[in-house]
Amino acid sequence: MNLVASLDFLAQLNKNNNREWFQANKALYQEAKAEFETYINILIPRLKEIDPDLDIFHARECVFRLFRDVRFAKDKSPFKTNFGAFMARGGRKSPYAGYYIHLQPGNSFIGGGSYMPQGAYLKAIRTEIYEHSETYKKIISKPAFKQVFPEIYGEKLKSAPRDFPKDWPDIDLIRNKHFTVTQAVDDAFWHSGDIHEKVLKVFKVQYPLNQFLNEALSRVNPRDR
């Protein structure tokens, strides 16, 4: 399958991000939403063959709402202009590292990891890297990994995190606020009929990173191990 209808709808929504247009074209939204969710439903069991710790079964556990919460936002546009799905142990709101698909005309990407881990989760990841830095470096420096994910994405602290030695030689590894990776893809990527295979190929490369991160995160919730 492909995601042409989803891309077309999102492109039109980007030009007409208002409730009046949305209501008049709700059938297009339903078609696009169903297409994207069907794709995710097909993908999930295939992804679980790569990562057996995933405990999700349906797209509804992973796909984010299109409707924006604009109560405290300067941008009052009522709708997102992308479809997103986060496939992780516990679903889209899980603190565990997972696999993310971001479908947006001209700005799509595949990746995942742990985005904005808070408090104990962030410290658990940093501690795991600090205590097992060689294992972590081996994962992120493999040629196959670097080819797909050149860097760990996201904002970094300007100095060493609290409770970690500033003179540690690998301090740069734990200054990240996010431990995520992304690979940008163009719109043509979603037009082909073999997108499952292409996405799974990326996620297979990502799996060792998620496995490492989730080993750390499971220490915060040991009952989930």
Q: What is the pLDDT of residues 197-207, one digit of tens each?
A: 999 999 999 99
Whole-angstrom Cα distance, residue 165 to residue 113?
A: 25
Neighbours of 188 (CB within 10 A): 7
Q: Which fold has domain 4-66+77-224?
A: BirA Bifunctional Protein; domain 2 (3.30.930)
DSSP annotation of 64: P
Whole-angstrom Cα distance, residue 95 to residue 89?
A: 8
Under 8 Å between Cβ of 115 and 178: yes
What is the identity of the amino acid at 186?
Answer: D
Q: Could you read off the pLDDT of 31-49 as tens digits, one per residue?
A: 999 999 999 999 999 999 9
Under 8 Å between Cβ of 186 and 105: no
What is this structure's pTM?
Answer: 0.94
Q: Locate the domains of the chain by residue range.
A: 4-66+77-224
Under 8 Å between Cβ of 128 and 209: no
pLDDT of residue 222: 54
